[in-house]
Amino acid sequence: MNLPILSLVTFLPLAGAVLLIFVHHERKNLLRVLSLAVAIITFIFSLSLYFNFNDQIPDPQFVEKADWLGYGIKYHIGVDGISLFLILLTTLLMPIIILSSWTYIQKRVKEYLIFMLILETGIIGVFVALNLFLFYVFWEAMLIPMYFLIGVWGGPRKIYATLKFVLFTMLGSLLMLVAIFFLYSMYYKATGVYSLNLFDYYGLILNPNIQIWLFLAFALSFAIKVPLFPFHTWLPDAHVEAPTGGSVILAAVLLKMGTYGFLRFALPLFPDAVMKFLPLLAVLSLIGIIYGGLMALIQKDVKSLVAYSSVSHMGLIMLAVFALNTEAIEGAIYQMLNHGLSTGALFLIVGILYERSHTRMISDFGGVSKQMPVFSAFFLICMLSSVGLPGLNGFIGEILCIFGIFKANKLLAILGISTIILAAGYLLWMFQRVMQGPITNEKILSFKDLNKREIVYLVPIVIMMFWMGIYPKPFLRKMDSSVTQLLNRVNKREIYFTQSRKDKDFLLEIEPITTEEKNEQKEDKAR
Amino acid sequence: MNNFFALSPILVVVLGALLVLLLDVFLKKENKNYLAYISLIFLVICAFVCIRFWNKNYSYFNGNLFLDNLALFFIFILVLATGFVILLSMKYITFQDVNYGEFYALLLLALSGVAIMLSSIDLLIIFLGLEVLSICSYALAGLKRKDEKSSEAAIKYFLLGSFATAFLVYGLALLYGSSHSTSISSIINFFITESELSIMALIGLALVIIGFGFKIAVVPFHMWTPDVYQGAPTPITAFFSVVPKAVGFIVFLRLFVPYWKNALNTQAIFWILWVICVLTMVVGNLVALRQTNLKRILAYSSIAHAGYLLIAVLAQDNSSLVFYLTVYLFMNIGAFAAVIALSRKGKEYLELEDYAGVGFKYPWIGVTFSIFLLSLAGFPPTGGFLAKFYVFSTAVREGLLPLVIIGVLASLISVFYYLRIIVYMYMREPAREIEIAVENPALFLVLFFCLYGVIQLGIYPRNILVLINQAVSSFF
């Protein structure tokens, strides 16, 4: 293919944002239509990634490589089975978010839409970057639009929330930057060549003692993003204060950047350190599951309830990632998509309620379903998808995760199931208090049911929920080869160390690719 | 090559200054803007000379004045900076009642001092240039004659500056006493060949560090910075924040980088600079958190940036030091330009409170100022990020990992106060109405030029990097 399709998908939103600068800020509808069009075109282009994706190849596809600044800093992007669906999730949600903000955002529409589109470029960039410099640029650059989205259009405590969000994320990512520098300089010293290519780094064999520090730096950055248990405190603030569109993108996609970071960087680059920290990380994930679920139970605000449910769900995903087997990791990726859809949808639904009532307190609602039957149906489906009802997407992901975890550690699997139980508890209880029962608040009588625009943007999500719940094969098969390769990278290195390298004092070596391994790789491909 | 042309950048600037002084007598007060145009013309000539002399390596006075590529590059860059400052001043000096002809003359004379310092490889001549620069600076700081703060700034700057100069001269004397020369190369040679540690020479070197440490405003020699920055007329503050700092670092580069590469007994000086570097980053950033005056915030931020630059000196990394200084020029002058933009006749808005709501009221000022602040904070894809990337990555390669970790955490602190300004501009409702003079094409020219610089250097700085590599590889 001659068309640089991946660059197109990545930078089209940015081009759209530049276009919007030249539209007068009073022409709000033109602005909205234009940005919606850009988002939809981006989605259509990204679909071609899906259809042209070859699921037999574990390595990135649609690779584009160009020299940029020298010294190993290259423009190098590509998609593999792990990132493919995260990109599709982003491009699918963006038009939905723009539609959902159609009337909700009345002030400073132009700036809002510009920041949204810039954000989309930043997020897709993170998922496609294969050069560590490029990855870091997108990873950081994405913070700026998010900072403005929360800070300008957010709720009453927006400034606190947005600064906390930025500073927390920066803390992690700056330490990761130092670790990247360290890898960069070690690679240069070992080979005499500057490189920031991720695949060059996959071939490194690092001293386990150094790996520990590097892994900690990377893991901290990603753990804050996920967020793993003790680093989660920014999340409820940011989610609650952000405008609906911001919350959706934050929950649906931004958190996935953390888990993606573990899969793409932390696990395959530092496999020995991973083995060392595995128990700790698993326990932290588990605490996150239970803590997030319990916190969600006692929330009075619907939005912060959904926010804490994110902490709980992301805990399960992390637990599955650390189980390190095919089922678990595929389940984790699948669950990342599910969580994106279902939590995104729940935030949209909270937004719909807030637009009508200007409150988010559970106690202010009751009996809404009588007034808004169509809305009630959508709410029910999204809520059940988050709970993990069989037939909906959440079930497949959770069951895969639990199976995988069970294979690795039975106790953890049993405790991990509590995420589903707790989710059923807080979500059903919330649904009951908000939607059912008698109408207690007179304001509810004036609520109008969903209008066409709202139905239009909820329907695709619901379709995806059913499709992914009933026929997950097209999704899972595309992941297989990449996930297998990832696990090979993690496991093979461990064997290599335990056999021959244990006592040697060294910094780093380049992995010698033997003919045996090459054959194996071919076999993998053939499989 | 011995050639009288080596003097031409200095002579052009001095000639410009003298012409401005002369014409000032004949021009009426309303027509003083012509002086700015004349100064700009001479700056353009000087820049042109720099471009023509690239790779020529002219020298004069038995090689004591030496126009290598490094000197040319920085004369060009600082001519650019002075040009920006003049453009920023054109409206400002009529607004703030500092419309004296000597304003431009002093700026050009200061620049001539800079040119002398940059093109010299003899510490005594460097000292000469430094004095020219300093005396002009003292006068410039106090130009707002009726303003108490400005006079305070001038006096403070003068007293502390003279004190620092005294240290410098004493240090030079000690260095001369031990190495029998004031030329940098002989001093370095002395340190390389001397097998025993000479306490006198080391003390001399330490005193020289103090003298220049004052100019580049590193902790603990930074006390004058916030007050002088606050009191001086704002375009002059922009000048102070960039020009003396850049020159000071170039002298550091000429003096220390070859010295560490070759000499044996260097630990003491290295650790002194190491401690200064850490203190500068930490104190600069921490104190900036508590400031509410924009000029003071930018003053402390410039202190902090001196710390990051010192990392490059410690890593002996010439090209990233030069790149950082280049980026710093654009982002810092840009930030000051945005601050100057928020002023009208007889009034400047300098408190954080004044900035509430500015972002939406004056979108172009808001957007450009935000980009400069994000660049200062080191967010990609701006030049500030790339500059930090180069400095930190080579520092890690040179084994300065602890320093880099401290630097990175310090820049995390800095994110807070840079973002706080943006918070005020975009996320707070205006507490009081402010009114500014919007028609100021010269200022907007500077804003957009700096914006272009920051983004170009952040996304595709290859051509500049090639020039920088030529510049640093040529110096003796």
A137 and B380 in contact by Cβ < 8 A?
yes
Closest chain B CA to residue A181: B393
> Does A144 sit within 8 Å of B374, measured CB to CB?
yes
* B427:A159 CB<8 A: yes
Which residue of chain B comes nearest to A107, CA vs CA? B360
Whole-angstrom Cα distance, residue A126 to residue A67? 18
Residues in chain B within 8 Å Cβ distance of A108: 360
- Locate the DSSP E strands across A55-182: 61-70, 73-79
Model confidence at A504, in pLDDT bands (50, 70, 90)?
very low
Among A229, A299, A283, which residue's Cα sits nearest to residue A416? Answer: A283
* pTM exceeds 0.90, yes or no: yes
Contact B360 A174 (CB under 8 A): no
Chain A CB within 8 Å of residue B204 CB: no
Q: Is residue A516's pLDDT more than 50?
A: no
Please answer yes or no on whether B393 and A181 come within 8 Å at the CB atom: yes
A300–B contact, CB cutoff 8 A: no
Nearest chain A residue to B464, by CA: A69
Which residues in chain A touch residue B409, judged by CB atoms under 8 angstroms apart? 174
Per domain, the residue ranges of chain B are 4-474
Burial degree of A156 (CB within 10 A; 0-12, 13-18, 19+): exposed
**In the predicted structure, residue A514 carries a pLDDT above the cut 70:** no
pLDDT score, position B262? 59
Contact B380 A140 (CB under 8 A): yes
Each residue's pLDDT tens digit, A116-147: 999 999 999 999 999 999 999 999 999 999 99
What is the per-residue DSSP string for B189-251?
HHHHH--S--HHHHHHHHHHHHHHHHHTT-TTS-THHHHHHHHS-HHHHHHHHHHHHHHHHHH
Chain A CB contacts of B289 under 8 Å are none
Strand partners, B347: B344
| pLDDT profile of chain B (476 residues), mean per 10 | 81 92 86 88 92 85 84 93 93 83 90 92 90 92 86 91 92 89 84 78 88 89 91 92 92 77 68 91 92 92 93 88 94 93 84 86 90 93 92 89 92 92 88 78 91 92 88 73
Q: How far is A182 from chain B (nearest CA, A)?
A: 6
Identify the H or E element spanning B150: helix B148-179
B165 touches chain A (CB under 8 A): no
> B52 CB near a chain A CB, below 8 Å?
no
Query: A201-260, pLDDT tens digit by residue?
Result: 887 778 888 888 999 999 999 999 988 888 989 999 999 899 988 999 999 999 999 999
Which residues, 6 or more positions from A178, have their beta carbon under 8 angstroms from its beta carbon? A217, B392, B396, B401, B404, B405, B408
State the residue for tokens 């379903």: A369
CB-CB under 8 Å, B381 with A141: yes
Q: Give CA–CA dist B249/B213, Å, rounded.
A: 9
On chain B, the residues whose CB falls within 8 A of the CB of A69 are: 386, 460-462, 465
Q: Is B242 on the interface with A (CB under 8 A)?
A: no
Confidence of residue A506 (pLDDT cuts 50, 70, 90): low
Is the bond preceding A472 in cis, omega lying within 30 degrees of 0? no
Contact of B383 with B457, CB cutoff 8 Å: yes
Which structure tokens are listed for A412? Answer: 């953890």
Q: Rounded to the nearest 5°, which phi and psi values hold at B204?
A: -55, -45
Contact B414, B377 (CB under 8 A): yes
Rounded to whole angstroms, the Cα distance separating B62 from B475 reads 17
The confidence score (pLDDT) of residue A492 equals: 67
Nearest CA to A332 out of A248, A415, A402 is that of: A402
The H or E element that residue A420 is part of is helix A418-435
Residue contact B385–A137, C-beta within 8 A: yes
Instruction: Tell me whether strands A204-206 and A61-70 are parallel, antiparallel or unpaired.
Output: unpaired
Q: Write the pLDDT tens digit of every residue in A372-397.
A: 889 999 999 999 999 888 888 889 98
Mutate which: B317, B393, B426, B467, vs A, most A CBs within 10 A: B393
Across the interface, of A133, A158, A167, the residue whose CB is closest to B415 is A167
In chain A, what residues touch B392 (CB-CB under 8 Å)?
Answer: 177-178, 181
Residue B423 at interface with chain A, using a CB cutoff of 8 Å: yes
Which residues from A are below 8 Å from B411, CB to CB?
Answer: 174
Q: By CA distance, what is A188's nearest residue in B?
A: B397
Instruction: Strands of A336-418 (E only): list them.
Output: none
Does the CB of A163 have a partner CB in chain B at under 8 Å?
A: yes
Cβ–Cβ gap B408/A147 under 8 Å = no
Q: What DSSP character marks residue A358?
A: S
- The answer to whether B419 faces chain A, any CB pair under 8 Å, is yes
Mutation target for A interface from B376, B394, B419: give the one with most A CBs within 10 A.
B419
Nearest Cα of chain A lies from the Cα of B95 at a distance, in angstroms, of: 32
Share of chain A above pLDDT 90, in %: 41
- Judge contact between B115 and B81, C-beta under 8 A: no
For tokens 């508590």, name the residue: B290
Which residues in B lie closer than 8 A to residue A181 (C-beta atoms)?
Answer: 392-393, 395-397, 404
DSSP per residue, B153-174? HHHHHHHHHHHHHHHHHHHHHH
Q: Which pLDDT score is estimated for A505?
A: 47
A151 with B423: Cβ contact below 8 A? yes
Q: Are residues B392 and A177, on separate chains, in Cβ contact within 8 Å? A: yes
B423 contacts on A by Cβ (under 8 Å): 151, 159, 162-163
Q: Does B397 touch chain A (CB under 8 A)?
A: yes
Q: How many helices (H) and strands (E) does chain A have?
A: 24, 4
Residues A339, A413: contact at Cβ < 8 Å?
Answer: no
Answer for the pair B373, B418: CB distance below 8 angstroms, yes or no: yes
Please report which confidence band the pLDDT of residue A524 belongs to, taking 50, 70 and 90 as the band edges. Answer: very low
Cα B476 from Cα B472, distance rounded (Å): 9
Both tokens of B75, joined, read 């004369």
Mean pLDDT value across chain A: 86
Closest by Cβ to A184, choosing from B386, B393, B428:
B393
Residue from the list B392, B405, B427 with its beta carbon closest to the beta carbon of A152:
B427
How far is it, in rounded angstroms, from Cα A131 to Cα A138?
11
User: Residue A463 carries which side chain, given as an amino acid letter?
Assistant: I
Contacting residues of B for A151, CB less than 8 Å apart: 422-423, 426-427
Q: What is the pLDDT of residue B299?
A: 93
Q: Establish whether the linkage from the previous residue to B381 is cis, with ω within 30° of 0.
A: yes
Interchain pair A178, B426: CB under 8 A:
no
